[in-house]
Amino acid sequence: MTNPTVAQLYDVIDATWAPFAKHQVGAFTVREGAGGGSRVSCATGPADENGIDIAAAKMRELGQTPIFMIRDGQSDLDDILGQSGYRVKDPVTLYAAPIDRIATEWTYSTEIYDIWPPVAIQREIWAAGGIDNARINVMERTKGPKTSIMGRIGDIPAGTGFVSISDQIAMVHALEVSPDCRRKGVAIRILRRMAFWAKAHKATHISLVVTNANVAANALYTSLGFDVVGHYHYRSS
């Protein structure tokens, strides 16, 4: 089965990790993130120097630091931003896989289960990993099929994550495992449970994004059978 294109995944990011609002500023889309991080606070658009300045002004008006997402094939935009003093931030790889490639091992439900809305212990695990209330708000305002997955080791809360579906493509966000529970297969079991949940909700593929700096996560996703689909990075003032 053919994976989604990188263009499709860019759309899935917006649908499954939704900004508070979008503003069309000339040829640029400026996202209002309400503190939810770069993905929901960036601008996207063409290599238009005047447009960049106008989009940056809008982001400042919203109380945000000007930040632009540079997608595959946008080297001209990248060059203009670099020459204007914008710094590279967080190069990211986008992965995808057919859903049946990941939904291969069902886990007994008392240790791995889906739950919506997230309960307090999940919020604590996320908070310990730097996923704050503003990012929880992103999950809550995202439309379409969605859930969180809670993972335990016996009776010990071990990890959690969020998954949502757009256009039959599930995307994983905010996967976090408590430090004491890492390297015990928790992330793998959560991912597989996400895939089973997504398959039950008519998804044909599962996808995710991860920073290139997270070497361990990139190795894990590759080992599970995820394929590289594309990339993006940011330029921030």
The residue extents of the domains of the chain are 6-92, 96-231
Residue with tokens 């979008």: 22
pTM (two decimals): 0.97
Looking at the predicted structure, is the pLDDT value of residue 107 above 80?
no
The predicted pLDDT at position 106 comes to 83
The topology under which CATH files domain 96-231 is Aminopeptidase (3.40.630)
- The contacts of residue 175 (CB under 8 Å, 6+ apart) are 159, 160, 161, 162, 187, 190, 191, 208
Pairing type for strands 205-211 and 87-98 reads antiparallel
d(CA 198, CA 170): 6
pLDDT, tens digit (0-9, with 9 covering 90-100), for 122-164: 999 999 999 999 999 999 999 999 999 999 999 999 999 999 9
pLDDT in tens, 3-60: 999 999 999 999 999 999 999 999 999 999 999 999 999 999 999 999 999 999 999 9
Cβ atoms of 14 and 141 within 8 Å: the answer is no
Place of tokens 């990075």: 233
Q: How far apart are CA 32 and CA 81, in angstroms?
A: 20
Residue with tokens 């008392």: 110
Beta-carbon count within 10 A of 123 CB:
17
3-state secondary structure of 135: helix
Task: Give the span between the Cα atoms of 108 and 25, in whole angstroms.
Answer: 49
